[in-house]
Amino acid sequence: MATQDHTASAAEILEPSPMAQMRRRVFGHYGIIIGGAVLAIIFAIAIFAPLLTPFDPILDQDLAQKLKPPFWHDSPKYDPAHPLGTDLQGRDYLTRLVHGARISLLIGFSAMIISGVIGTALGVAAGYFGGRVDMIVNFIITTRLSMPVVLVALAVVSLIGSSLWIVIWVLGLLIWDRFAVVMRSTTMQVRNLDYVAAAQACGCSTFRIILTEIMPNVVNHLIVVATLEMAHAILLEAALSFLGLGVQPPAPSWGLMISEAKGMMFFDAWLIGIPGAALFALILSINLLGDGVRDVTAPENRN
Amino acid sequence: MVKYILKRLGVAFLVALTVSIITFSLIYVSGDPAVALAGEAASNEEIEHIRKSYGYDRPIPVQYMDWLGRALQGDLGRSHYLKEEISDVILARLPNTLILAGCAIAFALTLSIPLGVAAAIRPNSLIDRFALTLAVVGQALPSFWFALIMMFFLGIKLRWLPISRVETWQGFIMPAIALGYYVTPGVMRLTRAGMLEVLQSDYIRTAKAKGLRPLTVLFKHALRNAIIPVVSLAAVQFGFMLGGSIVIESIFAINGLGFLAWETIQRGDLPMMQAIVLVLSLFYILITFLADMLNAFLDPRIRVT
């Protein structure tokens, strides 16, 4: 007994605790560091948007000030009050850009939550109960996949009118498929493990087993899918707004800003470049973070 | 095999039926289709006239059966706006979308499969890093923005490629790249992961030990097995492209189904909208069914279970 205790404590000294190992893996992962940092910055910008610039993204229009160039254009028209220039209506482009972060994050996060709830419920039910439930859920997933997302979203939005919350709900109700597919397969793997059988033998209710035995063991996959779908929702919103059927003017959505600048492509391409680059940075940081979470939590993916 | 085909066929049929019901109910999303068609300025008599002439006064199940029955015979009704047979319009526009999606998937596969194979042969090498970076960047690039950027540099600055409304093959290059690059990260990762797994298997070691040429081992033995999941993914992505080409087609003004869908949605032409959603969904169902058949043919394990 005494020798056993002794070796155990020696092993503890030699090997860092799992928590410390995890911490080391997280902070040694470039994707998580870079993605997390960029995302945190964009998040902070979105929260403090009104404090960052002296202008209002919608109300401060001044046609006399329209199409001021950004700071890297060495032009006499440049106005230091507008470091990123002004748009066609003479609104400060930096102000519209930082307020646009709010719209993208709000839509991405809300649509992700809605689709996550639907997809997880379907996927976990299919994976846990199997049999007929699985068959029905599979059928629902196949049906959903065969309907083209962009087209259906556009059609529905055009029929019931577009507002921020309608876009969120339409996207949320459409993009749950990946949640369902991934949750179904991971739940299937977990539900055959011994501790689930033990919980069943103890007489735990199905609800409790799913909540306390299944969910904690599939949550890392859930987080990875959540990041992917958040990015997906943001891209879809931008595409819808670009086509004129998403967020409506004068709201400063990045997709809408690109759409409004489309006609100026020959002369003022920076009007397209700036919001697109912001969109790219946001999606890239979310994806890097998601990839990082997958690498860190699943050892088998770590090559 | 026959049992598998029949089962898969049955599922495809049921999915198609469900999709048709959902598509049909699309026009009731906004409430009364007659009011939606008549516009805001219409009087009650006009709305009543439209309701009668388009048959919206009948019970909904009767309308659905009538619509489905005609659709099965290839009659999708007449467009409210164009005053033409919808099936004629769709058939006229379909080739452009098929060419575009075909070029896009060809571009995606010729880029991603060799890259994935090369990355798997030397994991963590320079080419692997390059492929992974390309995948991460590609996934984050909004396709409509990428299309505009390409248009700006290749079309406006360098004047290498035409930017809009061109029916020559040069006109399809930029749209195909803009539509196809989005698929490359997924296909490349799948090829890489599949190849990594296969290359470690015993039969590859045996093949190498037999003294077969490395290229023969790589392509005949390894890639053939690693490519099976890629077939499914490529088919699914091809289906998504048909539906997703709406953004790219509207940017490059390509006269295909996507552009038609966009025009139709802006005009509020409900029967045409229904027909396009139905046709694209049926295409997706057909493509995934064919891909499953191809997979079952390539991989005997699928048809046994």
Q: What is the ipTM of this complex?
A: 0.87
Q: Which chain B residues are Cβ-neighbours of A284 within 8 angstroms?
A: 136-137, 140
pLDDT of residue A303: 42
Residue A145 phi/psi, 5° resolution? -65, -30
Closest chain B residue to A291, measured at CA: B136
d(CA A260, CA A258): 6
Alpha helices in chain B, H assignment, sequence order: 2-25, 33-38, 44-53, 60-72, 86-121, 126-140, 143-150, 173-180, 184-199, 202-209, 214-216, 224-226, 228-252, 257-267, 270-298, 300-304
Binned at pLDDT 50, 70 and 90, residue A302 comes out as very low
Q: Which residue among A146, A150, A287 places its CB closest to the CB of B139?
A: A287
Closest chain B residue to A152, measured at CA: B277
CB atoms within 10 A of CB B213: 11
Q: Which residue among A273, A287, A303 places its CB closest to the CB of B136?
A: A287
By C-alpha distance, which of B84, B24, B81 is closest to B55?
Answer: B24
- Determine whether A143 is exposed, middle or buried from the number of CB atoms within 10 Å of its CB (0-12, 13-18, 19+): buried
Q: Which pair of structure tokens corresponds to residue B203?
A: 């039969």
Closest chain A residue to B122, measured at CA: A303
pLDDT of residue A140: 94
Binned at pLDDT 50, 70 and 90, residue B56 comes out as confident
The more confidently predicted of residues A76 and A220 is A220
The residues with which B69 forms a beta bridge, in sequence order, are: none
CB atoms within 10 A of CB A61: 17
Cβ pair A154:B144 closer than 8 A: no
pLDDT at B152 over 50: yes
Residues 212-231 of A with CB under 8 A from B: 231
Task: Give the three-class secondary structure for B78.
Answer: strand
The CA distances from residue A73 to A204, A281, B148, in Å, are 67, 22, 20
Average pLDDT, chain A: 86
Residue B151 at interface with chain A, using a CB cutoff of 8 Å: yes
C-beta separation of A235 from B142 below 8 A: yes
The CA distances from residue A74 to A64, A77, A123, B100, in Å, are 20, 9, 56, 40
Angle at B148 between CA B142 and CA B153, to 5 degrees: 125
Average pLDDT, chain B: 85
Cβ pair A154:B265 closer than 8 A: yes
Closest chain A residue to B155, measured at CA: A266
The CA distances from residue B15 to A74, A147, B26, in Å, are 59, 10, 17
Candidate ranges A67-81, B26-40, B241-255; pick with highest mean pLDDT:
B241-255
Lowest mean pLDDT among A161-165, A291-295, B165-169: B165-169
Cβ pair A146:B143 closer than 8 A: no
Handedness of CA B20, B22, B27, B32 (dihedral sign): positive
Binned at pLDDT 50, 70 and 90, residue B67 comes out as confident
Residue by residue, what is the 3-state secondary structure of chain A?
CHHHHHHHHHHHHHCCCHHHHHHHHHHCCHHHHHHHHHHHHHHHHHHCHHHHCCCCCCCCCCHHHCCCCCCCCCCCCCCCCCCCCECCCCCEHHHHHHHHHHHHHHHHHHHHHHHHHHHHHHHHHHHHHCHHHHHHHHHHHHHHHHCCHHHHHHHHHHHHCCCHHHHHHHHHHHCCHHHHHHHHHHHHHHHCCHHHHHHHHCCCCHHHHHHHHHHHHHHHHHHHHHHHHHHHHHHHHHHHHHCCCCCCCCCCCHHHHHHHHHHHCCCCCHHHHHHHHHHHHHHHHHHHHHHHHHHHHCHHHCC
Q: What is the CA radius of gyration of chain B?
A: 24
The more confidently predicted of residues B50 and A212 is A212
pLDDT of residue A301: 47
Residue B247 at interface with chain A, using a CB cutoff of 8 Å: yes
d(CA B217, CA B203): 10
Cβ pair B36:A143 closer than 8 A: no
User: How confident is the model over A136-169, as pLDDT tens digits?
Assistant: 999 999 999 988 888 899 888 888 888 889 999 9
pLDDT of residue B188: 92
End-to-end CA distance of chain B: 10
Residues 194-233 of B with CB under 8 A from A: 196
- Determine whether A64 is exposed, middle or buried from the number of CB atoms within 10 Å of its CB (0-12, 13-18, 19+): exposed
d(CA B118, CA A261): 40
Cβ pair A145:B284 closer than 8 A: yes
Cβ pair A238:B144 closer than 8 A: yes
By C-alpha distance, which of B34, B96, B73 is closest to B258?
Answer: B96
d(CA B95, CA B260): 12
Q: Which pair of structure tokens corresponds to residue B46?
A: 């006009």
Give the gap in angstroms from C-alpha A223 to the nearest C-alpha of chain B. 18
User: How confident is the model over A106-128, as pLDDT tens digits?
Assistant: 999 999 999 999 999 999 999 99
Distant-in-sequence, close-in-space partners of A26: CB < 8 Å, separation ≥ 6: A32, A292, A296
> What is the mean pLDDT of the segment spanning B150-171?
77
Tokens 């492509």 correspond to A265
Residue B174 per-residue DSSP state: H
Residue A92 phi/psi, 5° resolution? -65, 125
User: How confident is the model over A228-269, as pLDDT tens digits?
Assistant: 999 999 999 999 999 988 888 888 899 999 988 888 877 778
d(CA A193, CA A261): 56
Lowest mean pLDDT among A125-139, A175-189, B147-161: B147-161
Closest chain A residue to B273, measured at CA: A155
Distant-in-sequence, close-in-space partners of B229: CB < 8 Å, separation ≥ 6: B190, B194
Residues 140-169 of A with CB under 8 A from B: 142-143, 145-152, 154-156, 158-160
HSE, side-chain direction, 13 A CA sphere, residue B135: 21
d(CA A296, CA A4): 32
